[in-house]
Chain A
């Protein structure tokens, strides 16, 4: 199989796809992969250029040895496993570092990987690719030489997508429903399957009493800002609905303080694009037009817009904008959340609430949605548990002897 001339090889440069397709799997969390990622992590953290790319630094910090060890320890894979073979990753177009996390998941599961990087020439992609390329050319990493192919090709080159899809054992698709639909036009081999990350909806809940009495308000505002404005409220993990738990007077007090604290940060840091200002305003008005009793509350300027909804009803996940539009509602008990939750719900972030209570809500309700329950401020942290999948498990295969007593093979 010859390389299609439209495919650009970012790392390793000058390589062939065919070698990747034939590379043999490793065990999950293999020493070779851990060593390679450890060096990649260090190289990126020590590279001056990562100073101006906080998402690259965050990635490097995430894949440092202690972190990877903790991941393995937290969720050991008890059965004997090997990678499934070749994973074809489609990275999302506008989260520059996502491709690297996906690649790690594929490697940690024991696979060889072809990763299609975003079409845009992000500095983050260039930097990580440079180090991946450099490290893979070192003799000590020769065993992994064919386990990474970082490529870029035109989005609409359906023939290339088809070719890579036909080779892989798992196709990991990031980027939302439209991307998934487009990529799925390319068939997979009989045993191969898709692992898709579709459009998701996220929300948060804050306990008013605890907010007033215990919570560090400044830190929480910072955390919420990072969860939302940092990515224009456009990440799948960003909350669009803010639920306040408590009695009316304490909720009133709490939310006034909360939005004020957030607005301090927004004032200093956030730049709103004119189109986004109109989008939010239109969206809020549209909601109001269809829901009698809704109230639109603007902050000091167009950067913070809130819509107080008259009732919490199913379908709220269809109402969302970005760049700082928050739907808001007071609940008296967590039980009010369950009826609105469906498959699209991904992240439930929280503050001033006991996390076990939230878990209880999901299990007692046997809910079809909510895959992550994390404190406000931590929604953007990548985890090998994503969208309900444990990636190292999903991307590896079990070699079963029927009795289930085989120990995993070391090395």
Chain B
């Protein structure tokens, strides 16, 4: 397995494109070869495309896999007996979820990367943590579902942990008060899925005219804005709601996926999602998969040095986005920063195959989550 020590040693947002580009390309090229040699289906996919590693001069020349292949094929570059964890995404009912196979090393690398990334926005490595969910979500440990896995992953930052919601998904205000009393004066990490935070914390508090004293907290949330957009709740509304009900002013959205955990993109103080040093983002035009220009929307391709036990190092997602800039965000972080626009819509096709059975063929509405 590759030594990622250099990547863990580099500051999480410290490398500009001169320093990062060639190193990342080289590492990912090695990873491509590694997976081609150890994962037979992956090797065949590269061969079928006529991929020639000698033609790779930049990141954009690397091959990429559509994320959905992880739902359809078992892709792993390790012997089965080395699998310590199998991650799954939440699929819509009737759809097979993605299966991501981790060995001990990859799992450790993911956790280390995540730690460094999250610590960069919180003040400490371990803090009292409030999870905006109910304890029921992590009860099934056998197969990590996206939400549960995300919570468990982020729980590595927890010095003490409280689930904010009861089994009816209502905020447990007594428990929350007690927890805050117990950890008075300490910075708090609040973690939850975006729609959970809004639906089951902000909204109930607003409806009851109640508040929580969390001005010393950092909120990290992820999972996408689709549900909230359907209710016309923008990121601004979301942040205002948090400020007014909980006093939280440090809010960080993150973008990640179960197929590439650990190297999540975190929102900076300016509201931009930044790729960490371990990863990068390329936007591709759906028309011909060519690289889109700055500010031009297209399909998000995510690259990461962390997926070593499975060929997930270069993935074409089904999310649309734009790259906003590189190395020049006013927040001071180096590297690319981007915006996610949402899942690409289902294709409207002509032809005689019907769309019966519950109205529509299963829509690929997998929630994009970070799961670890």
Binding site for B on A (CB under 8 A): 92-95, 98, 155-156, 174-176, 178-179, 181-182, 197, 199, 230-236, 238, 272-279, 281-282, 284-286, 288-292, 294-296, 300-303, 307, 322-323
A1 to chain B, nearest CB (A): 26
Asked if A322 and B356 make an inter-chain contact with CB atoms under 8 angstroms apart, the answer reads: no
What residues on A are CB-neighbors of B185 within 8 Å? none
Asked if A274 and B351 make an inter-chain contact with CB atoms under 8 angstroms apart, the answer reads: no
- B350 CB-CB contact with A under 8 Å: yes
Give A187 to B115 CA distance when docked, in angstroms.
61
Asked if A276 and B349 make an inter-chain contact with CB atoms under 8 angstroms apart, the answer reads: yes
Give A266 to B347 CA distance when docked, in angstroms.
18
- B348 CB-CB contact with A under 8 Å: yes
Asked if B349 and A179 make an inter-chain contact with CB atoms under 8 angstroms apart, the answer reads: no
- B230 CB-CB contact with A under 8 Å: no
- B8 CB-CB contact with A under 8 Å: no
Asked if A278 and B41 make an inter-chain contact with CB atoms under 8 angstroms apart, the answer reads: no
Asked, given contacts A273-B348, A289-B45, whether A93 binds B355 with beta carbons under 8 Å apart, the answer is: yes
Give A233 to B353 CA distance when docked, in angstroms.
10
What residues on B are CB-neighbors of A197 within 8 Å? 352
Asked if B352 and A155 make an inter-chain contact with CB atoms under 8 angstroms apart, the answer reads: no
A96 to chain B, nearest CB (A): 9
Asked if B348 and A290 make an inter-chain contact with CB atoms under 8 angstroms apart, the answer reads: no
Asked if B48 and A296 make an inter-chain contact with CB atoms under 8 angstroms apart, the answer reads: yes
* Central interface residue in B318, B344, B351, by most chain A CB within 10 Å: B351
Which of the segments B13-21, B106-114, B285-293 contacts the partner chain? B285-293
Asked if B66 and A178 make an inter-chain contact with CB atoms under 8 angstroms apart, the answer reads: no
B320-372 CB contacts (< 8 Å) to partner A:
320, 344-357, 359
A398 to chain B, nearest CB (A): 30
Asked, given contacts A276-B347, A282-B69, A300-B288, whether A176 binds B354 with beta carbons under 8 Å apart, the answer is: yes
8 contacts between A and B (CB under 8 A): A93-B354, A197-B352, A235-B350, A272-B286, A278-B344, A288-B45, A288-B48, A301-B288
A286 to chain B, nearest CB (A): 6
What residues on B are CB-neighbors of A273 within 8 Å? 286, 347-349
Asked if A236 and B344 make an inter-chain contact with CB atoms under 8 angstroms apart, the answer reads: no
Asked, given contacts A178-B357, A182-B356, A295-B48, whether A277 binds B287 with beta carbons under 8 Å apart, the answer is: yes
What residues on A are CB-neighbors of B69 within 8 Å? 282, 285-286, 289
What residues on A are CB-neighbors of B72 within 8 Å? 282, 286
Asked if A235 and B66 make an inter-chain contact with CB atoms under 8 angstroms apart, the answer reads: no
Asked if A94 and B346 make an inter-chain contact with CB atoms under 8 angstroms apart, the answer reads: no
- Binary CB contact string for chain B from 2 to 26 against chain A (1 if under 8 A, 0 otherwise): 0000000000000000000000000
What residues on A are CB-neighbors of B289 within 8 Å? 277, 281, 302
Asked if B50 and A282 make an inter-chain contact with CB atoms under 8 angstroms apart, the answer reads: no
Which of A155, A233, A274, A300 makes the CB contact (< 8 A) with B286? A274
- B44 CB-CB contact with A under 8 Å: yes
- B49 CB-CB contact with A under 8 Å: yes
A186 to chain B, nearest CB (A): 13
What residues on A are CB-neighbors of B50 within 8 Å? 295-296
What residues on B are CB-neighbors of A156 within 8 Å? 359
Asked if B344 and A275 make an inter-chain contact with CB atoms under 8 angstroms apart, the answer reads: yes
The closest CB in chain B to the CB of A230 belongs to B350
Which of A175, A286, A295 makes the CB contact (< 8 A) with B356? A175
Asked if A302 and B286 make an inter-chain contact with CB atoms under 8 angstroms apart, the answer reads: yes
B39 to chain A, nearest CB (A): 9
Asked if A92 and B352 make an inter-chain contact with CB atoms under 8 angstroms apart, the answer reads: yes
Give A277 to B353 CA distance when docked, in angstroms.
19
Give A289 to B350 CA distance when docked, in angstroms.
29
Asked, given contacts A272-B286, A289-B45, A290-B41, whether A95 binds B348 with beta carbons under 8 Å apart, the answer is: no
Give A303 to B289 CA distance when docked, in angstroms.
11
Asked if B286 and A176 make an inter-chain contact with CB atoms under 8 angstroms apart, the answer reads: no
Give A292 to B43 CA distance when docked, in angstroms.
9
